[in-house]
């Protein structure tokens, strides 16, 4: 028993050493100092997910170690023939069976027989974004990621698909739902190297006639930002002060870059219910710094109906992941039928508050169950259980546009999501939200380009 514990301890130390060496290597390969890399390591140690990852890695390394030791002892005591037999039947055969079984299921689920005839007539062939918004006030938006690269054709692809608005989304982090501060080194109005990416991106978008929604987004590493659970009024106040500092920083950025729309928050239900006065005060502070339009991105479920400051916003912003069907592989008519109840409620809410509704996010995975629970991300379970379907994704967008686009209370939408780093080969296999290189891309180009009559 003592030998086992000593071995465990040695492997445990080796695991941590491997992680430390990796962070050291990062300091040379990612143009950051050793000090910064070490600080990031210490910060990650406070995250439960990172600590769990380290211990999972430890278990894997330990299993590999005892397997090698077992084979080595077999070789010494019983010879190479028995060692090879044990290697084959105890390790290699089961591993190959698991690997190829999993690969077979995944590849089977990725098979998509849907044939779509791409229509390039919908596309914008100029090098500048259209100005349909100036005519009908509809946001033809897309949430776009991957701006750290400098490629002109990234923006050209957006223009080709008649996108006129781009959501630029700076992320800032928080450890978990119980943490009373946001992990941020932001000083309001002082631009960091990371900020320079967004400043440059906004300038490039404006040069191409694209409008921008700046949408700073809190990312909670463990839990969900909508369910912050702080114990005392003091903790709530501390949290809000840190959030306020970040938001004033981006309000200054929005003003400096002439951004037309600023989103002041995303799915922060518990804070808004707990601190309504602080939110109203923050909005007034933002308006002193920023002269453009404002919205807030409320969750579709149990939030947007209870916001008390819609009168101070230019748009009622909704993260519109409404469930539309109860079963997989629905028809276009079934999906459209699923919009009817939501459509009535949204129309009434818009008229009551005398504000147009803007979908600050809406998206559908390219799988057969995309309209059942649109808010779900692809997990390992989904990859093994769900089947790829670009047809369902395409029809989900078609149903949304047909149901809502011509409603006077509907101000448009921002599709989730477009990643400029996506490879076309990868898009032919994945089940994720991105419409890029999929039939949904062409449907978006059709409706954003006012070709809806060509259905």
* Cβ-based burial of 97 (10 A; exposed 0-12, middle 13-18, buried ≥19): exposed
Largest CA distance in the chain: 84
Distance CA 278, CA 211 (A): 30
pLDDT band at 205 (very low <50, low <70, confident <90, very high): very high
Q: Are residues 337 and 243 in the same domain?
A: yes
What band does 150 get if pLDDT is binned at 50, 70 and 90?
A: low
Query: Are 209 and 276 in the same domain?
Result: yes
- Angle between the N-to-C axes of helices 2-29 and 48-78, in degrees from 0 to 180, rounded to the nearest 10: 120
Could you tell me which residue, 186 or 230, shows the higher pLDDT? 230
Q: Is 133 helix (H, G, I), strand (E, B) or coil?
A: helix
DSSP H or E stretch at residue 49: helix 48-78
CA–CA separation, 45 and 38 (whole Å): 11
Structure confidence by residue, pLDDT tens digits, 412-448: 999 999 988 888 888 888 889 999 999 999 999 999 9
Residue 383 token pair? 């990859």
Residue 89 placed within a domain: no
Question: Tokens 């119980």 appear where?
Answer: 178
Q: Please report whether residue 92 resides in a domain.
A: no
Contact residues for 436 (Cβ-Cβ < 8 A; gap 6+):
157, 418, 419, 422, 427
pLDDT of residue 185: 75
- Residues 74 and 136 reside in one and the same domain: no
Q: Say yes or no: 257 and 360 in one domain.
A: yes
Q: Does residue 165 register a pLDDT over 90?
A: yes
Looking at the fold, whether 181 and 270 belong to one and the same domain comes out as yes
DSSP run (H or E) holding 36: helix 34-44
pLDDT value for 281: 97
User: pLDDT at position 109, please?
Assistant: 74
Q: Which residue range is the domain that position 250 belongs to? A: 120-454
Query: Among the three residues 48, 78, 108, which one is the final residue of a domain in this structure?
Result: 78
**Both 192 and 252 in a single domain?**
yes
Structure tokens at 181: 């501060």
Assess whether pLDDT exceeds 90 at residue 362.
yes
Question: How far from 15 is each of 11, 20, 51, 68, 184, CA to CA, in Å?
Answer: 6, 9, 12, 17, 29
Whether 303 shows a pLDDT value over 80: the answer reads yes
Task: Please tell me the predicted confidence (pLDDT) of residue 98.
Answer: 87
Within a domain: 91? no
Determine the Cα–Cα distance for residues 56 and 186; give it in Å rounded to an integer.
Answer: 33
Residue 70 lies in a domain: yes
What is the 8-class DSSP label of residue 91? I
Looking at residue 409, the DSSP 8-state letter turns out to be T
Point out the domain boundary residue: 49, 78, 107.
Answer: 78
Domain shared by 275 and 353, yes or no: yes
Indicate the range of 42-51, 288-297, 361-370 predicted with least confidence: 42-51
pLDDT score recorded for residue 380: 66
Residues 203 and 137 placed together within one structural domain of the fold? yes
| Residue 412 · residue 127 · CB < 8 Å | no
pLDDT at 160: 96
DSSP 391: H
- Angle at CA 367, nearest 5°, toward 221 and 102? 80
Position 31 in a domain: yes
- What's the pLDDT tens digit per position in 136-148? 999 999 999 888 7
Q: In this structure, what CATH number is given to the domain that contains residue 293? A: 3.20.20.80
Whether omega before 417 lies within 30 degrees of 0, making that bond cis, reads yes
Does residue 25 sit in the same domain as residue 173? no
**DSSP result, 394-443:** HHHHHHHHHHHTT-TTEEEEEEEEEETT--HHHHTT--SS--TTSHHHHH
- Do 296 and 395 lie in one domain? The reply is yes
pLDDT, average across residues 153-182: 92
DSSP string computed for 263-294: EEEES-HHHHHH-HHHHHHHHHHHHHH--SEE
| Residues 312-348 pLDDT 10s | 999 999 999 999 999 999 999 999 999 999 999 999 9
* Confidence bin at 398 (pLDDT 50/70/90): very high
The position carrying tokens 């509809």 is 138
- In-domain check, residue 108: no
Could you tell me if 305 and 349 are in contact, meaning their C-beta atoms sit under 8 angstroms apart? yes
Q: Would you say residue 131 lies in a domain?
A: yes
The kind and range of the H/E element at 139 are strand 139-145
- If one counts the domains in the chain, the total is 2
Cα end-to-end span (Å), the chain: 72
- Residue that is last in its domain, among 45, 60, 78: 78
Structure confidence at residue 218 as a pLDDT band (50, 70, 90): very high
Distance in angstroms (rounded) separating the CA atoms of residues 135 and 94: 63
Instruction: Give domain status of residue 55, yes or no.
Output: yes
* 351 has pLDDT over 90: yes
Handedness of CA 165, 166, 169, 170 (dihedral sign): negative
State residue 384's pLDDT score.
67
CA distances from 229 to 37, 270, 278, 444 (A): 30, 8, 17, 39
Please indicate, yes or no, whether residues 46 and 154 belong to a single structural domain of this protein. Answer: no
DSSP 382: H
Question: Going by DSSP bridges, is the β-strand pair 217-222/261-266 parallel, antiparallel, or unpaired?
Answer: unpaired
Do residues 62 and 178 both lie within one domain?
no
The CA distance from 304 to 298, in Å, is 5
Q: State the average pLDDT for the chain.
A: 90
């Amino acid at each position: 028993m003592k030998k086992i514990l000593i071995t465990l301890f040695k492997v445990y130390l080796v695991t941590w050493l491997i992680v430390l060496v990796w962070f050291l290597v990062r300091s040379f390969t990612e143009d950051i100092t050793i000090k910064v890399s070490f600080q990031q390591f210490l910060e990650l140690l406070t995250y439960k997910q990172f600590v769990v990852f380290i211990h999972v890695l430890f278990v894997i390394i330990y299993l590999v170690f005892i397997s090698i030791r077992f084979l080595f002892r077999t070789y010494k005591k019983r010879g190479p023939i028995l060692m090879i037999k044990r290697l084959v039947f105890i390790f290699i055969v089961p591993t190959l069976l698991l690997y190829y079984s999993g690969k077979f299921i995944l590849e089977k689920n990725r098979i998509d027989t849907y044939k779509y005839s791409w229509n390039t007539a919908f596309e914008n062939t100029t090098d500048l974004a259209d100005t349909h918004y100036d005519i009908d006030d509809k946001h033809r938006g897309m949430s776009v990621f991957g701006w750290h690269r400098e490629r002109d054709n990234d923006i050209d692809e957006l223009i080709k698909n008649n996108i006129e608005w781009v959501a630029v989304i700076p992320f800032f982090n928080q450890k978990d739902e119980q943490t009373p501060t946001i992990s941020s080194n932001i000083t309001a109005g002082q631009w960091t190297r990371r900020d320079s990416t967004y400043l440059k991106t906004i300038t490039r978008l404006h040069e191409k006639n694209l409008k921008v929604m700046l949408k700073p987004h809190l990312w909670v590493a463990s839990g969900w930002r909508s369910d912050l659970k702080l114990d005392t009024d003091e903790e709530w106040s501390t949290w809000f002060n840190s959030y306020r500092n970040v938001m004033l920083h981006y309000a200054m950025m929005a003003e400096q870059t002439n951004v037309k729309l600023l989103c002041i928050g995303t799915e922060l239900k518990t804070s808004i219910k707990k601190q309504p006065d602080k939110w109203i005060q923050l909005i007034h502070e933002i308006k002193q710094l920023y002269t453009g339009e404002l919205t807030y991105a409320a969750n579709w479920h149990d939030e947007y109906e209870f916001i008390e400051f819609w009168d101070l916003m230019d748009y009622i912003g909704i993260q519109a992941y409404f469930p539309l069907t109860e079963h997989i592989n629905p028809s276009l008519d079934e999906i459209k039928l699923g919009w009817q109840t939501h459509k009535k409620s949204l129309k009434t809410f818009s008229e009551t508050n005398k504000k147009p509704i803007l979908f600050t996010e809406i998206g559908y995975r390219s799988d057969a169950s995309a309209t059942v629970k649109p808010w779900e991300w692809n997990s390992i379970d989904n990859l093994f259980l769900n089947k790829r379907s670009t047809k369902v994704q395409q029809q989900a967008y078609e149903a949304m546009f047909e149901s809502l686009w011509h409603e006077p209370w509907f101000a448009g939408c921002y599709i989730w999501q477009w990643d400029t780093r996506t490879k076309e080969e990868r898009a032919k296999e994945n089940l994720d939200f991105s419409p890029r290189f999929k039939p949904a891309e062409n449907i978006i180009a059709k409706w954003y380009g006012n070709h809806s009559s060509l259905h």
